[in-house]
Amino acid sequence: MGHDNRCNRGALVTLVGTYLISVIPERKKSRTLLADYLDGIKGSMGKMVEIFRTGQIPREEGHYLDAALAYFDAPSSQKLLSSAALRCIEDLKKLSAEADEADGRLSRGDRTAADAWNEDAERVIGETRAEADKLRLG
């Protein structure tokens, strides 16, 4: 069941990315859709924070986050992003990688890595929200 959900989310992320690149050529609409995409990533990070706080491991959201961030590996998906937004994406990728370490330590009963991860994630969530808002404003 969980695996099917990850596959469905991965497929959704791919479809949205394809849609952003090829179907919507108008710059303003693309910026708005890209902002919505960043909001989705921000929401996923927020869910990971909530799950870590309960002492659980956010596997499903982590897989979704990795798939969503993979969209930004292509140079064409970075065209509309400011340097600050690109830094947010890099911070999100770094946090995604660090979540694996926090997962491992949490599974051994050590919450310190998860708590530190949550603090960093909340900062990046705020920065991502700001960059999404800037994209909408154009």
Give, in degrees to the nearest 5, the angle at Cα 53 between 48 and 54: 100
pLDDT of residue 85 exceeding 60: yes
Reported pTM: 0.76
Mean pLDDT of 36-46: 91
Question: In this predicted structure, which of 13-17, 44-48, 67-71, 75-79 has the lowest mean pLDDT?
Answer: 13-17
Whole-number pLDDT of residue 31: 82
Distance CA 94, CA 96 (A): 5
Whole-number pLDDT of residue 1: 46
pLDDT of residue 81 exceeding 80: yes
Half-sphere exposure of 96 (CA within 13 A, CB side): 20
Q: Both tokens of residue 38?
A: 């960043």
Q: Both tokens of residue 6?
A: 């990850």
Name the DSSP class of 57. -
